[in-house]
Structures are given as C-alpha cells and as structure tokens.
A and B are shown apart, each in its own frame.
Chain A
C-alpha cells in the first residue's frame, strides 16, 4: 500500500503519525484519501481555490511530481510519497524535541 510521509509541522493534524497509508492509483487519489482521513490537513495543504499551496511540494520517492506527470502521476504498489515545504526550516519533531530536551547530543 502506498504511504505519504508527513513533515513535522503537519503531524499535529495526523495524530502525530509520521507516515500515513493511503489508497489510490494516482497522486491526486492519494492526496484526496489523505485529506479524507485527516481533514484538518486540508487548510494547510490547499488554498481557498482548491489548489495546492505554492510552497507545498509532493515528491514520489526522490522526484518532485511536477517533474513527472503532476497529480496525474501513477502510483506503483508500495510507492512512498513525501510532502515537502519549499522552505528548509520547520517545526521541531517530537523525536528531536525529546532528544534536545534530554541533552543527548
């Protein structure tokens, strides 16, 4: 089953899940299934016009899907999608927060 990896700032809206299993034959299907499972993601990923927000990128494995067939890109079995914001900053993950608080490194 395909999966989507969730960036840390969005994990509060997936119940803390880092990856979500989704169904669908294309990237569009997968994204629809993701927001159906976790409706709070909708406002963070999509604008009022229903389009993906300008800084949100979807990767299939290591390739940006806009360099493939966009949201029509077919998903092979076991495909791994990732949501990646354009910026390289971001919220601390729970794992990172725990490690930092523990002064582990």
Chain B
C-alpha cells in the first residue's frame, strides 16, 4: 500500500503514523485497454491508471494525503485548526475523507455549480461548505478561501492545493514509482491532464529521472469555456504555482465533445465508466498512439463517472435544448 511506497522514499512522512484508511491510498491498478485500441499496431499499447480505486474515489487522495500529512508534520494542523481550501470537488472529497478519519475539521469553498453528487458527498463526510458564485468559476472559490484564511489565520490551515508543493510531491513519491514498477520499466509515454498540474509535474519528474527518454504529454481543454471537469485551460488562466510549463514534451488540446465521445466509448467498449477527464486523456492517448509503431503509453484516469450522473451530458436531451 502507500506505506510501502511513500515512507521508504520520503522519510519525513515515515515519522507520522498512518491511519488505516491512509494505507489504502495509492497502488491503483494499471489496466491495458483492449477494444478501443484494436486498430493500433500490436506493439502500441495503452495502459490506464485507474485512480478511482483510491478510498475517496479519485486521484486526489494522493495529493490530499501528502498535504494533510505535511501540515501535521509541520504542526500547521492539529489543536483544533480547520483545514481550509477551495475545490471544485474531488480534492474536497479527498480532504474530507482523510480528515474525517483523523478527526480534523474541513471547510471548503466550492463553486455553486459543482455537481449535486459532490456537494452531497462532501456534506455526508462532515465538511463545512461555502458555496461561491458559479459565474466566477474556481477562481471565485480561491478568492473566498484566501479571504477566510486572511480573516482568521489562527483558525485555519489554508492548504492551497494550487501552490502547495505537497500536491506534486505525492505523485513523485507514489504515482511515478508505481508506473515504473507496474510497467516493468517499459513505459515510453505518460499522458495526463492539467488541473493543478500536480499529477503531471510529480509523476513526470519521477519518470524523467528514471529515464529522460520517457515522453510527457500534457492535455488541456481547447478553450477557456469547456466541460472537462477538473482541468484548466492554461492560456486563459493564471498558472498554478506548482506547474512547470517546461516539463511536458508535448501539449494536446481536447474539445469537450471529443472527450465526451471517448468517455462514452470507454463505458460501452471497455466497461470503464469514467469521468470526462479520463475520456479527454484517452483522446490525446489515441492521437499519440496513431503516430507510433511501438510504445507503451500510460494514461491517467482520474475518477469514475458516478459523481457526474446529474450532469446534463448524461441526461436524455429534450428536443431543442
């Protein structure tokens, strides 16, 4: 489990006892896609890292665990302090899940248009929510969290996932080593979407350190107005502090409709009911694969589709709308 991976490589974390739940974070399956890749040469293989196997159901457990444990280690949490951050969903669920098991209170600033399932899950886990204006997007939630943290600095530990180095350290110490181990060192390409960029930066740095020949492919929405939950269109956003734009070897832009089509194909052809960001990453992986004669592509699937069922894109559409 994570303990086996992280505490050996990050001594700072080894000093802090893990909760039973925390031992379940990481070591997610790596599954080779079989049907949507049938048109490819046999030597071109795509493997998906199934991140919903983490306890709270998404890749964000890795970052949340490292943020939480680094804060506890540094004495920034504990003594009744509240973990505060802004989130559009998965990171909040990860914080709330892991913090509940430690008896730590969590307060989250969440855009009001976060899916109903996510808001219900956050409340069930005991998180206190501050809903912010949907029109202001994730940045409106960031501003609100900063305002609360500034007003009562003693009350809150402001986790700041976009700028907290623990967000990428998590992937350097877990996701990267897992991919090398699970692929027997055969991985040639990593395909991952950009949100906080923690996955790409942490995993990418580890893989590059293992072999400079491993290519890193970063994927993002094709426009500022998009429907790929969890991702950022970097050209129109202020970049997260942890993002290293020089790290990826290649950038791919994906249109929401193509991501949705791939998401549906993954469900119907591979039996993988994934979130739309996994579909978007698959679009990029398939485009890349089509240019190759041989290779071992690892693509990150951040979560499953169950938290998105109320989205309009999964509903039957009435005529004219």
Q: Do A and B come from one complex?
A: yes
A interface with B by C-beta (< 8 Å): 5-10, 12, 18, 28, 44, 47, 51-57, 64-66, 70-72, 82, 84-93, 95-97, 99-100, 105
Known A-B contacts A54-B227, A54-B260, A57-B312; the reply to A88 vs B137 at CB < 8 A is yes
Determine whether the beta carbon of A91 is less than 8 Å from that of B237.
yes
Known A-B contacts A5-B135, A87-B226, A89-B88; the reply to A96 vs B140 at CB < 8 A is yes
Q: Assess whether B11 is interfacial by the CB under 8 Å rule.
A: no
Known A-B contacts A70-B318, A93-B139; the reply to A7 vs B134 at CB < 8 A is yes
Cross-interface CB contact of A54 among B134, B233, B257, B320, cutoff 8 Å: B257
Cross-interface CB contact of B110 among A6, A57, A88, cutoff 8 Å: A88
Determine whether the beta carbon of B226 is less than 8 Å from that of A54.
no
Tally of chain B residues near chain A (CB < 8 A): 46
Main secondary structure of the interface of B (DSSP, over half): loop
Known A-B contacts A8-B137, A53-B256, A96-B136; the reply to A86 vs B227 at CB < 8 A is yes
Q: Closest residue of chain B to A45, judged by CB?
A: B225
Known A-B contacts A54-B313, A89-B88, A89-B231; the reply to A84 vs B237 at CB < 8 A is no
Determine whether the beta carbon of A7 is less than 8 Å from that of B137.
yes
Determine whether the beta carbon of A6 is less than 8 Å from that of B135.
yes
With A9-B224, A70-B320, A91-B237 given, name 16 new contacts (CB 8 A).
Answer: A7-B134, A9-B223, A9-B225, A28-B320, A55-B256, A56-B227, A65-B321, A71-B321, A86-B113, A86-B227, A88-B89, A89-B195, A89-B231, A93-B137, A96-B139, A96-B143
Cross-interface CB contact of B226 among A55, A88, A96, A97, cutoff 8 Å: A55
In the complex the two chains form, what is the Cα distance from A52 to B256 in whole Å?
13
Known A-B contacts A9-B224, A47-B257, A71-B321; the reply to A88 vs B88 at CB < 8 A is yes
Chain A residues within an 8 Å CB radius of B224? 9-10, 12, 90-91
Chain A residues within an 8 Å CB radius of B237? 91-92
In the complex the two chains form, what is the Cα distance from A52 to B229 in whole Å?
18
Q: Closest residue of chain B to A70, judged by CB?
A: B321
Name the 3 nearest CB pairs between A and B, nearest first: A90-B137, A55-B227, A88-B88
Determine whether the beta carbon of B318 is less than 8 Å from that of A92.
no
Determine whether the beta carbon of B146 is less than 8 Å from that of A105.
yes
Determine whether the beta carbon of B225 is less than 8 Å from that of A100.
no
Known A-B contacts A54-B257, A55-B311; the reply to A89 vs B230 at CB < 8 A is yes
Cross-interface CB contact of A90 among B139, B195, B320, cutoff 8 Å: B139
Chain A residues within an 8 Å CB radius of B321? 51-52, 65-66, 70-71
Determine whether the beta carbon of B134 is less than 8 Å from that of A53.
no
Known A-B contacts A52-B321, A84-B134; the reply to A89 vs B229 at CB < 8 A is yes
Chain B residues within an 8 Å CB radius of A12? 224
Determine whether the beta carbon of A88 is less than 8 Å from that of B138.
yes
Determine whether the beta carbon of A85 is less than 8 Å from that of B147.
no
User: Nearest-CB distance from B163 to chain A (Å)?
Assistant: 12
Q: Assess whether B69 is interfacial by the CB under 8 Å rule.
A: no
In the complex the two chains form, what is the Cα distance from A97 to B224 in whole Å?
15
Cross-interface CB contact of A9 among B115, B195, B236, B320, cutoff 8 Å: B236
In the complex the two chains form, what is the Cα distance from A57 to B112 in whole Å?
13
Chain B residues within an 8 Å CB radius of A82? 134-135
